[in-house]
Structure 1
Amino acid sequence: MNKFASLWLVFAIIGAAYSAPAAEADGDDRILNGRKAATNQYPFIVSLQYKMPSEPGTILRSKFCGGSILNKRWILTAAHCIVNGNKDGGVMHVKAGVKNAFDLGGQYPRVQKIIWPTQYNKTGQEEHDIALLQLAEELVMGPAVQPIAMAPKGFKASGVGTILGWGAINEDHSQSSNELLYTPIPVAPSSDCDIFRAHRPAEHICLGGKGGGSACGGDSGGPFILTHNGKPLLVGATSFGTVKCTNDKPVVYTSVAAYRDWIDETMAKN
């Protein structure tokens, strides 16, 4: 990787452990330059968490990435979140229907199957960085938990969309937010992401880099959405960015449209 390598992904994988319920993170309200989501504003996002071994009567969870609800049994996220993640004896769950990732409310189904493209990361770079999680129990749909439509094959992202997550809120990843944060972000020219050796225009969407908001470690796997025909459309999943989280450099998202065939075929076979 070059000096703008995607090392912040490591922080997204490791995450941090918290006793639930946890206090809200101090400091800036940023995904970078973000704001707090309203109740049920984004009912399709989930927090990926490990339920950790703990003392009887306590709850210990480790949040590490985000994901998007496709239907009652399937979540879309980034492959790097779960392929080499350090489980530390934990059991992977998704937390749905909450603004605070450690709220005792919401839904908390266990992940029973994880699937990613066979070509993922074979060159040691962030290629084919997408994954599907099959849940052991169906999500119960309602105002706080809803699926999101996916971009169709061939969809070309443009304009200004939204990114969101519970990840780091400062450059060195020392703080993360327990509250769901979001920020608008423009689609950038693909060439802007050529600063990353791992950039693959056919499978990636380049975002930001204009001094606005950006994603950071722990936001990985979370959605990039555009409004299409008046409704939110899942267009990308957070993949990688610069070593330090800054909003003057672009961030790369895996294109959902580029993987629609794989997504649809995988869910149909399983």
Structure 2
Amino acid sequence: MASTDWMFLLLPLVIGAFSEWVQLSDAARITFGSCAPQESEERGQCIHITSCPFLAELLTTEPKTPAQRLLLSKSQCGVDNRAEGLLNSTLVCCPRSKRIDSEDTAESTHLPGGRDEEQPGNVLPGNDVCGFLFADRIFGGTNTSIWEFPWMVLLQYRKANATSSSAFTFHCGGTLLNSRYVLTAGHCLANQKLEQAGVVLHSVRLGEWDTRTDPDCATQMNGQRICAPNHIDIEVEKGIVHEQYVPNSVDQQNDIALVRLRRSVSYTDYVRPICLPTDDLIRNQFVDYGMDVAGWGLTESRQPSPTKLKVAMKVVNRTICQEKYSSFKVKLYDSQLCAGGMKGMDTCEGDSGGPLMVSISTGGRDVFHIAGITSYGTKQCGIGGWPGVYTRTGAFIDWIQQRLEA
């Protein structure tokens, strides 16, 4: 993930006074990781403030003392943008003994409607489950929050016949579609360079943010430290490369593949599927749409990033993109998208197979869909005027659905 802009702005959290009490719902059982509450030696959970009467009562108390205002401010651990209203969406670090359903101390999220139970592999989640993002969003720059883009995965490869941990390496990214399938690029499975290096796809890592630590922990904007559950490694049952993909072709048409996991994964707010393009979006070329791409690929130092990074970019008219790539005798197809082209802002080696993501407002909420899959670009990343090429996901919806098995 190449970028020259490392400055970023944080969306501030503001807690004000509210006179209305909000009814508790299934959200009372949702947790967003462990944390260390202010003025308490007891461990806590990052939860909705409505599930923490201790802090919710402070919120509605007027007038507040300076100490109470400081406690409320320092107790914030994020924002859940799936909920409507500031009170419903505010997350606080609540001591376990003072939260509702305090006997439930699981680190993972229990999703309403039983969605944390095992789901069949041939069922795609509805937009009430997929594509939601919460917590403090970071605008500009490249840093992601610890729980941003929870559908992103790393493909883990193993050197043939090797058994030590050092034999495992990451070469590609991917996107979780449902409980059993990951979407990635065809060249992440059918690749002569990987074959010559003697490495084979072994497993998929989910719930990762920083590859150097497990579990991942981060300090939030209010100084609160929060930790995610441990990442999950699941072995690959099989890979499915598009039948018409030609690994050595210059145009990389049909550069798409599915990875079936050996077992089902339960959804949490650190492991969650993205949405596929809906009927209205399938044929959309998304020209001039703002998109997000993310991954652990090479940075300016030509080394893989240990943390998940992101870059914002726009989709470029394919005709303009074709004019650039014609010098390499590359033909672009309707099943491909071009995005980026700003100097120093690009995907790079190691980001292959990761998602090109578009946020669409659905039912008053921003829902992320996978518009494209990182396919290829110039050998030197981040050259101004040279967009990257992405497989257009909407062109392959039928192909994807026909290959999903229970």
TM (normalized to structure 2)? Answer: 0.55
Equivalent residue, structure 1, for 2:387: 250
Q: Residue by residue, what CA displacement relative to the aligned partner does 1:202-229 show, whole Å, maximum 9, x if unpaired?
A: 0111101133611111100000001112
Is 1:267 the counterpart of 2:404? The answer is: yes
Is 1:163 the counterpart of 2:300? The answer is: no
Question: Following the alignment from structure 1 to structure 2, what is the Cα–Cα distance between the partners of residues 174 and 183?
Answer: 17
Equivalent residue, structure 2, for 1:134: 260
Q: What is the aligned counterpart of 1:154 among 283, 293, 307?
A: 283
State the one-letter code of the partner of 1:127.
Q
Question: Following the alignment from structure 1 to structure 2, what is the Cα–Cα distance between the partners of residues 66 and 177?
Answer: 13
Aligned length: 236
Equivalent residue, structure 2, for 1:64: 171
Equivalent residue, structure 2, for 1:116: 241
User: Conserved in 2, the CA contact under 8 Å of 1:121 and 1:127?
Assistant: yes
User: Conserved in 2, the CA contact under 8 Å of 1:148 and 1:234?
Assistant: yes
Equivalent residue, structure 2, for 1:234: 370
Equivalent residue, structure 2, for 1:42: 149
Q: Report the Cα offset of residue 262 of structure 1.
A: 0.6
Q: Residue by residue, what CA displacement relative to the aligned partner does 1:2-40 show, whole Å, maximum 9, x if unpaired?
A: xxxxxxxxxxxxxxxxxxxxxxxxxxxx53345221011
Is 1:178 the counterpart of 2:314? The answer is: no
- Structure 2 SS opposite 1:260: helix
User: Conserved in 2, the CA contact under 8 Å of 1:31 and 1:164?
Assistant: no
Question: Following the alignment from structure 1 to structure 2, what is the Cα–Cα distance between the partners of residues 113 and 154?
Answer: 29
Q: Which has the higher helix share?
A: 2
Q: How does 1:98-117 map to 2 (within 5 A)?
A: 98-104=208-214, 105-117=230-242
- Structure 1 SS opposite 2:259: strand
Question: Following the alignment from structure 1 to structure 2, what is the Cα–Cα distance between the partners of residues 51 and 102?
Answer: 18
Q: What is the aligned counterpart of 2:3 among 32, 36, 47?
A: 32
Bigger shift: 258-267 or 148-157? Answer: 148-157
User: Conserved in 1, the CA contact under 8 Å of 2:290 and 2:315?
Assistant: yes
* Aligned-pair identity (%): 28
After superposition, the CA RMSD in angstroms is 2.1
Is 1:198 the counterpart of 2:330? The answer is: yes
Bigger Cα Rg: 2
Q: Residue by residue, what CA displacement relative to the aligned partner does 1:221-270 show, whole Å, maximum 9, x if unpaired?
A: 000001112111110000000011124111000000011111111115x7
User: Conserved in 2, the CA contact under 8 Å of 1:164 and 1:183?
Assistant: yes
Equivalent residue, structure 2, for 1:81: 188
State the one-letter code of the partner of 1:49.
Q
State the one-letter code of the partner of 2:2.
I
Runs of 4+ in structure 1 deviating by more than 6 angstroms, as ranges, are: none
State the one-letter code of the partner of 1:165.
G
Equivalent residue, structure 1, for 2:110: none
Greater length-normalized contact order (CA 8 Å, ≥ 6 residues apart): 1
The 1:263–1:216 alpha-carbon spacing in structure 2 relative to 1, beyond 3 Å, is same
Is 1:221 the counterpart of 2:328? The answer is: no
Q: How does 1:6-21 map to 2 (within 5 A)?
A: none
State the one-letter code of the partner of 1:112.
E
Q: Report the Cα offset of residue 123 of structure 1.
A: 7.0
Question: Following the alignment from structure 1 to structure 2, what is the Cα–Cα distance between the partners of residues 122 and 238?
Answer: 15
TM (normalized to structure 1)? Answer: 0.81
- Structure 1 SS opposite 2:316: coil
Q: Residue by residue, what CA displacement relative to the aligned partner does 1:145-190 show, whole Å, maximum 9, x if unpaired?
A: 00000113323323111000111113xx831112100010011111
State the one-letter code of the partner of 2:369.
L
